[in-house]
Amino acid sequence: MISEPRLVLVRKNVLKQNDVLARALRERFREAGVLAISLVSSPGSGKTAFLENTLTLLHARYKVAALVGDLATENDAARLARSQAPVKQIITGTVCHLEAAMVQNALDSWDLRGLDFLFIENVGNLVCPSSYDLGEDLRFVLLSVTEGEDKPLKYPTIFNSADVAVITKSDLATAVEFDEDAAKRNIQAVRPGMRIFKVSAKTGEGMPKFLDFLENQRLRSRSTAAV
């Protein structure tokens, strides 16, 4: 019998341990009745700007909170905290993704009961985060109009690991000659049937439709939890 190379074995064990913690987190979210949503994308594609808008708009009617991961700085937490929502920064050091253990530590002293939405902004990276389950109910992958329409084809794993795609910075689409049909075709090629939103954090375009979707998802998760 050919045994697996040691590196493969170590990686498998790390992922297995992550899955166990992610399962426990998912159970904790379910028990608390909070809808947990993570955001993944390449660096600078607009996760924090989009999330700050989302938190600000939801804040009036819902209890919302956010975690945000970066290798260094508390910059994103400071931006998100302008929404008045509770926010915690996770500093990953050299690690290019969030892991379930990091989320668990960050939430250690938080009482999740009474919270409606918990958002988790992952480290900006289109590769590493795809393998790590964070116990979230939904994963959103963001694609900004300035990145090129081919990113779903080049990074299929992250698009495959996500539930919803969000095209960001729509206000810049014309300036960069963004081909929306091609981008949508490429998303559908790697993840057939994927729901796609188009938004701008600068102008607010697409945000009302996106908020309707979030509210519906919350209602759906509450009714399934009650069964």
Ligand X SMILES: Nc1nc2c(ncn2[C@@H]2O[C@H](COP(=O)(O)OP(=O)(O)OP(=O)(O)O)[C@@H](O)[C@H]2O)c(=O)[nH]1
Residues engaged in binding ligand X (CB under 6 A): 41, 43-49, 76, 124, 168-169, 171-172, 200-202
Minimum gap (Å) between residue 74 Cβ and ligand X: 12
Q: Is 168 in the site for Mg ion (CB under 5 A)?
A: no
Q: Which does 53 bind (CB under 5 to 8 A by kind): ligand X, Mg ion, none?
A: none
Helix, strand, coil percentages, rounded to 5, for the chain: 45, 15, 40
Is residue 76 at the binding interface for Mg ion, with CB under 5 A as the rule? yes
133 binds Mg ion (CB under 5 A): no
Q: Report, in Å, the least distance between residue 7 CB and ligand X.
A: 28
- Looking at beta carbons only, is 48 or 130 nearer to Mg ion? 48
CA-closest candidate to residue 57, choices 214, 197, 196? 214
Sheet containing 138-144: which strands, arranged edge to edge?
87-91, 64-70, 117-121, 35-40, 138-144, 164-168, 195-198
> Rounded CA gap, 179 and 148, in Å?
9
Stretches 17-25, 41-49, 132-140, 209-217: which one binds Mg ion (CB under 5 A)? 41-49
Give the nearest distance from C-beta 123 to Mg ion in angstroms.
9
The label of the residue with tokens 């909170």 reads: 65
69: which strand partners? 90
